Amino acid sequence: MELFFRKYGEAGPPLIIVHGLYGSSDNWVSIARELSDRFEVYVVDQRNHGHSPHSDIQDYPAMREDLREFMDLQGIPKAVLIGHSMGGKTVMSFAEAWSERVQALVSIDIAPKSYHNLALASRTAANHFNMIDAMLKLDLSKVRSREDADHALSTSIGSERIRGFLLKNLRREGERFSWRINLRAFSNNLEKIFEGMDRESIAARGGITGFPVLFISGGNSEYIRATDHQGIRDIFPTAEIVTIPGAGHWVHAEQPALLVKNILYFLDV
């Protein structure tokens, strides 16, 4: 699948940013611009998100293949890969398949574990089924403004901030609204999106190595816990793990300056 992308900067090694579930390249423009004086930055829309094509399939084998195809089309033999949430698992899966094409890997607020046990994994993640169901049930034919949609979703999705993030995917065409994201594909594939990597099998092979690895967690997030550190290093033996204070799951929105600082320090530029 040929992915939509935005590009910033002309000098330096290629760096690719991969967003998370419900996100898009648009969410990462400010971070990309901050990095563009040192890197040739590409920010992609994953399948079923943003301006990229839709598909019934939403799993990591497909998403990593999309990323490989993107790199091939852009003539990128090797890149720094940065992924947030679902995008973090995409770049991890890519690294498992094609480690020789990874210059460095940064995973933002996601571990390589399974998130099927949502209640234990994260209070936020536990709402995914409800959020998707609420968006699917929203009667867009009756929506005349984003405020209408926000009000209608408020009974099911209590967080104003999360609703605001989700509603960035609402597209207006004349007098009608539609979802830019493929909610049906998300609903049908949510279990696959929550899947983890095969820790035992990968560890038995010595883990995924050959490039530096950084895991960044939000200090107020539950997506990466102290108990996850050993599992991370079983799969990525050389991984560094840092926590950014004052940030939840959306680290790039809540602490962008600290995020960029940590990325640049890690990449030694």
Q: DSSP of 80-118, one letter per residue? A: EEEEETHHHHHHHHHHHH-GGGEEEEEEES--SS---SH
Q: Is the pLDDT of residue 52 over 90?
A: yes
pLDDT of residue 120: 44
Whether residues 70 and 43 fall in one domain: yes
Q: What is the percent of the chain where pLDDT is above 90?
A: 89
Residues 112 and 124 in one domain: no
Same domain, 55 and 186: no
Dihedral, CA atoms, 185, 186, 192, 193, nearest 10 degrees? 140
Percent of all residues in the chain with a pLDDT value above 70, rounded to a whole number: 96
CATH number, domain at 41? Answer: 3.40.50.1820
Region of residue 246 (phi > 0: left; psi between -120 and 50: alpha; otherwise: beta): left
Alpha helices in 111-214 (DSSP H): 118-121, 128-137, 146-153, 160-166, 183-193, 199-204
3-state helix, strand, coil in the chain (%, to 5): 45, 15, 40
The domain boundary residue, chosen from 128, 163, 190:
190
Domain co-membership, 175 together with 211: no
Same domain, 9 and 92: yes
- One domain, residues 157 and 251: no
pLDDT at 269: 62
Same domain? For 103 and 232 the reply is yes
Residue 48 has pLDDT above 60, yes or no: yes
Domain boundary among 190, 219, 246: 190
Q: What residues does 213 pair with on adjacent strands?
A: 105
Averaged confidence pLDDT in the chain: 94
**138 and 82 co-located in one domain:** no
Residue-wise pLDDT for 89-130, tens only, equals: 999 999 999 999 999 999 999 999 999 875 444 454 447 888
Q: How many domains does the chain have?
A: 2
If asked whether residues 162 and 175 sit together in one domain, one would say: yes
Same domain, 10 and 32: yes
For residues 81 and 99, membership in a common domain is answered with yes
Question: Which of 134, 161, 190 is the endpoint of a domain?
Answer: 190
Domain of 140?
120-190
> Do residue 107 and residue 155 come from a single domain?
no
